[in-house]
Amino acid sequence: MTAEKIFQWQMTELNKPFQLAQIDSPELNEGDVLVKIAGCGVCHTDISFWHHGVQTKHALPLTLGHEISGTVVAGDKNWIGKNVIIPAVLPCGECDLCKNDRSNICRNQLMPGNDFHGGFASHIKVPSKFLCPVPDKVLENYSLAELSVIADAISTPYQVVKKSELVAGDFAIVIGVGGVGIYGAQIAKIFGAKVLALDLSDEKLAIAKQNGIDATLNIKGLDSKTIKEKVKEIAKELKAPKVGWKIFEISGTKPGQDLAFNLITFASTLSIVGFTMDKLEVRLSNLMAFDAKLIGTWGCKPELYPEVVELVANGKLKIDQFVQTFPMSQINEVFANTLEHKYTKRSVLVPDFK
């Protein structure tokens, strides 16, 4: 067991500042490890827990954060000293869902920052079973802290692109190219699609264009009918298919989800990635009439993490332009600014405990 002091930034009440606490070193059971945290990304889900009243499974006080990278410092000797990414969803590996390739929705799953204390801390205790090793070659181009975004912001869209059955030559429409959507757009492009990015921000759309996305459209102030007509025009310009569109809703907003559903055409697949508490009224018969599919996604099964790391390692998927790091002591300021949409990049908090 490490003799290092362990600190956590704990959520004690809804909408209240996080409080710094020092805790005793946790007892490690067989198969557990203690990870010294390098970085933890700030996710929309964390904001939902902290501000929007989404219930955590663990009672407060609770340390949030599920987008974590770090170095194993205690526990299973086979892992000590290794740099790792901790999956945002930790399955049991034994249930029917796990055995049928659906480990991301394992009913016995544990999520850092929800089921137990998460990554806005100096250290975290986790099972070692599904840790994803970080090869040294990745660290030649990125800091370990920056790689924390793989645990959710990158792996989640990676899984949903695979689930959508997207193939080379498909027309992919990504709604919302912020901290998660920009990776979804890149991944669809890597898979060979012709990609259209939709957003309300010219700045985000410009970044998407600079990173190889085929076309962009600012949809601010446009109704769904007008947007769909413009999308058809862009598809024609790109010589993309008129049917079978792969639509990815990543904005996590009611207008975004409404638009996504209205973009469905023949043989489309609509994937819902973004989360909102808002309810939507839709005509499900559209799915029947267009013989379309509507799918969801929850996190990413740990089995896919090495594939994502490899995309980063070989330079196909870029990270550094879309990540900004902050000292973890600025957590309250960062959360407030994130809530007010002041950042265009994914925020990663780096421990600076004294």
Q: Tell me the DSSP string of 27-71.
A: PPPTTEEEEEEEEEE--HHHHHHHTS-PPPSSPSSB----EEEEE
pLDDT at 143: 96
Same domain? For 223 and 134 the reply is no
Q: 130 lies in a domain?
A: yes
Percent of the chain with pLDDT over 70: 99
Same domain? For 35 and 159 the reply is no
Same domain? For 195 and 307 the reply is no
Q: How many CB atoms lie within 10 A of CB 79?
A: 18
Rounded to a whole number, what is the distance in angstroms from the first to the last CA of the chain?
Answer: 20
Mutual angle of helices 155-163 and 181-190, in 10-degree steps: 50
CA distances from 79 to 32, 110, 132, 254 (A): 10, 20, 11, 43
Confidence band for 320, pLDDT divided at 50, 70 and 90: confident
pLDDT at 276: 86
Q: What is the mean pLDDT of residues 178-184?
A: 92
pLDDT at 344: 82
Q: 198 lies in a domain?
A: yes
107 has pLDDT over 80:
yes
Q: Domain span at residue 122? A: 6-152+300-350
31 has pLDDT over 70:
yes
Same domain? For 93 and 218 the reply is no
pLDDT at 4: 66
Same domain? For 251 and 333 the reply is no
Same domain? For 238 and 222 the reply is yes
Same domain? For 200 and 266 the reply is yes
Same domain? For 10 and 143 the reply is yes
CATH of the domain at 243: 3.40.50.720
Q: 257 lies in a domain?
A: yes
What is the average pLDDT value for the chain, to the nearest integer? 95
Same domain? For 306 and 287 the reply is no
Q: 1 lies in a domain?
A: no
Exposure letters 197-223 (e unless 16+ CB within 10 A, then b): bbbbbeebbebbeebebbbbbebeebe
Q: 234 lies in a domain?
A: yes
Same domain? For 292 and 320 the reply is no
Q: What is the mean pLDDT of residues 222-233?
A: 97
How many domains are there within the chain? 2
Percent of the chain with pLDDT over 90: 92
Confidence band for 3, pLDDT divided at 50, 70 and 90: low
In this structure, which amino acid lies at residue 109? Q
Q: 224 lies in a domain?
A: yes
pLDDT tens for each residue of 188-201: 999 999 999 999 99
Residue where a domain stops, chosen among 250, 280, 296: 296
1 has pLDDT over 70:
no
Same domain? For 228 and 331 the reply is no
Q: Which residues contact 347 (CB under 8 A, 6 or more apart)?
A: 41, 42, 324, 325, 326, 334, 338
pLDDT tens for each residue of 64-98: 999 999 999 999 999 999 999 999 999 999 999 99
pLDDT at 179: 85
Q: 237 lies in a domain?
A: yes
Same domain? For 143 and 65 the reply is yes
In this structure, which amino acid lies at residue 180? V
CATH of the domain at 88: 3.90.180.10
